[in-house]
């Protein structure tokens, strides 16, 4: 089905591409609220500015995934990264709030091509045995990008608030050149013609046991984004931690997650299989959520959040690997829809977490435990249905 590529050469290239993409994205994270406020955004408008990006990804990731099945991975990845660069430069040049919204909408629309298509590329070039390892390496690139990106953004913001956006734009241009001149296409012409239907892949993906994996990812994303939206306030109230120490804590969490994804996911999935790793990740996430309720100082916050991050971090690569093994539609269609469910969780999660926090500061983490238990239950349903179908077959 796919072009035979040297995995040892292709995976490092994909790692570099995804790392640079997430560095660019991470650079603007600490700056965007202040930049938008300077232009005149209210807190509500800032929330909408953050949400509109995820909304575009929710709507268009499946489209880009299907398109990559039809025309190939490389042009879609290049389009997504070019769109990211354009959006960063447009944000740097924005002088009015509507311009900032337009840049975020353009960026969200085009960059929603990146994640599902890169995941589909990994599925193209890896065997079933090595699929988890490949997805884990991409997950590690994402984690490390989020570690270094905000740090770079913070440093360059001291020059001017526009500078991080220019740096992110040039980083994306470098990534675009890497895709155009170094990355090889992973699909043959014959493979591109195998999934030409516009709606059939979506119907196939949402039918059968594999549909449970999409909803599992939704609940995992909900719990994670709820934590991300409230932990700074929680840690400040429970342990008196400021922004600098919180930055270190998230950096430690990012490194821990990246190390596990890059080095351990592949070994675990190869030895025990993706189902075991997914369930293990959910259980560790539940333990992490419970421990976070007992945060008292910097050390406990760093340890407990890292435990959660390790558990949460192994779930997405393992779900992606398992889904691409089971899907009857194109890899891009499957990973695009998975990204869409992930984005839905990131849209709903922050306001839900904020509302729960306003009732009681521990509620976002208690709800995280509940959501994780639901995800675990969904996986049990998936496993049961899969076994039933296998026995019938």
pLDDT tens digits, one per residue of 29-74: 878 888 888 888 887 888 788 889 989 999 999 999 999 999 999 9
Q: How does residue 17 score in pLDDT terms, banded at 50, 70 and 90? A: very high
Length of the chain: 393
Q: How does residue 193 score in pLDDT terms, banded at 50, 70 and 90? A: low
- Mean pLDDT lowest among 215-219, 250-254, 281-285, 368-372: 250-254
Question: Is residue 3's pLDDT more than 60?
Answer: no
- Point out which residues pair with 339 in neighbouring strands: none
- Mean pLDDT lowest among 13-17, 192-196, 245-249: 192-196
Angle at 197 between CA 183 and CA 330, to 5 degrees: 40
292 contacts 304 by C-beta, under 8 angstroms: yes
Instruction: Specify the pLDDT at position 154.
Output: 81
pLDDT tens digits, one per residue of 324-366: 888 766 888 889 999 999 999 989 988 898 899 999 999 999 9
- Mean pLDDT lowest among 173-187, 258-272, 295-309: 258-272
Average pLDDT rounded to a whole number, residues 166-184: 94
Question: Is residue 147's pLDDT more than 50?
Answer: yes
pLDDT tens digits, one per residue of 210-227: 788 899 999 999 999 989
Instruction: Specify the pLDDT at position 243.
Output: 74
Question: Is residue 391's pLDDT more than 70?
Answer: no
371 contacts 216 by C-beta, under 8 angstroms: no
Average pLDDT rounded to a whole number, residues 369-377: 94
Summary mean pLDDT of the chain: 88
Q: Which conformational region is residue 293 in: left (phi greater than 0), alpha (psi within -120 to 50 degrees), or beta?
A: alpha
Whole-prediction pTM value?
Answer: 0.87
Question: Is residue 196's pLDDT more than 70?
Answer: no
Average pLDDT rounded to a whole number, residues 110-138: 91
pLDDT tens digits, one per residue of 81-120: 999 999 999 999 999 999 999 999 999 999 999 999 999 9
78 contacts 176 by C-beta, under 8 angstroms: yes
84 contacts 114 by C-beta, under 8 angstroms: yes
The CATH class, in words, for 7-180+201-386 is mainly alpha
pLDDT tens digits, one per residue of 297-311: 999 999 999 999 999
Q: Both tokens of residue 191?
A: 């493979």
Question: Is residue 204's pLDDT more than 70?
Answer: no
Instruction: Specify the pLDDT at position 208.
Output: 66
Instruction: Specify the pLDDT at position 197.
Output: 47
CA gap 259, 140 in Å, rounded: 7
Average pLDDT rounded to a whole number, residues 130-148: 90
CA gap 277, 282 in Å, rounded: 9
Average pLDDT rounded to a whole number, residues 372-382: 91
Instruction: Specify the pLDDT at position 372.
Output: 94
Question: Is residue 131's pLDDT more than 70?
Answer: yes
Instruction: Specify the pLDDT at position 138.
Output: 92
The domain locations on the chain are 7-180+201-386
Closest CA to 23 of 229, 160, 167: 167
């Amino acid at each position: 089905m796919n072009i035979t590529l040297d995995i040892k050469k292709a995976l490092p290239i994909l790692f570099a591409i995804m790392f640079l993409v997430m560095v660019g994205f991470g650079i603007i994270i600490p700056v965007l609220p202040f930049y938008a406020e300077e232009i005149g955004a209210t807190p509500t408008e800032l929330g909408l500015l953050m949400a509109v990006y995820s909304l575009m990804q929710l709507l268009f990731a499946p489209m880009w995934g299907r398109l990559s099945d039809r025309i190939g991975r490389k042009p879609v990845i290049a389009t997504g990264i070019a769109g990211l660069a354009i959006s960063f430069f447009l944000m740097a040049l924005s002088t009015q709030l509507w311009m900032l919204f337009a840049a975020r909408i353009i960026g969200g629309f085009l960059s929603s091509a990146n994640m599902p298509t890169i995941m589909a590329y990994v599925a193209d070039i890896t065997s079933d045995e090595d699929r988890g390892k490949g997805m884990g390496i991409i997950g590690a690139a994402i984690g490390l990008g989020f570690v270094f990106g905000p740090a770079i953004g913070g440093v360059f913001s001291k020059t001017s608030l526009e500078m991080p956006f220019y740096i992110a734009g040039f980083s994306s241009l470098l990534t675009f050149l890497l895709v155009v001149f170094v990355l090889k296409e992973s699909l043959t012409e014959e493979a591109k013609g195998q999934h030409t239907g516009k709606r059939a892949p979506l119907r196939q993906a949402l039918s059968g046991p594999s549909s449970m994996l999409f909803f599992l990812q939704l609940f995992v994303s909900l719990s994670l984004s709820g934590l991300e939206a409230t932990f700074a306030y929680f840690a400040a109230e429970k342990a008196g931690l400021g922004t600098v120490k919180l930055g270190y804590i998230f950096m430690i969490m990012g490194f821990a997650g990246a190390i596990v994804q890059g080095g351990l996911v592949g070994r675990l999935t190869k030895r025990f299989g993706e189902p075991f790793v997914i369930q293990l990740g959910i259980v560790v996430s539940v333990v992490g959520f419970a421990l976070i309720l007992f945060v008292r100082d910097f050390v406990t916050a760093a340890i407990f959040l890292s435990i959660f991050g390790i558990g949460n971090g192994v779930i997405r690569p393992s779900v992606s690997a398992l889904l691409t093994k089971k899907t009857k539609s194109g890899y891009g269609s499957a990973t695009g829809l998975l990204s869409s469910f992930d984005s839905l969780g990131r849209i709903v999660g922050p306001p839900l977490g904020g509302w729960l926090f306003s009732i009681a500061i521990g509620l976002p983490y208690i709800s995280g435990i509940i959501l994780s238990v639901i995800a675990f239950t969904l996986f049990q349903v998936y496993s049961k249905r899969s076994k039933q179908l296998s026995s019938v077959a």
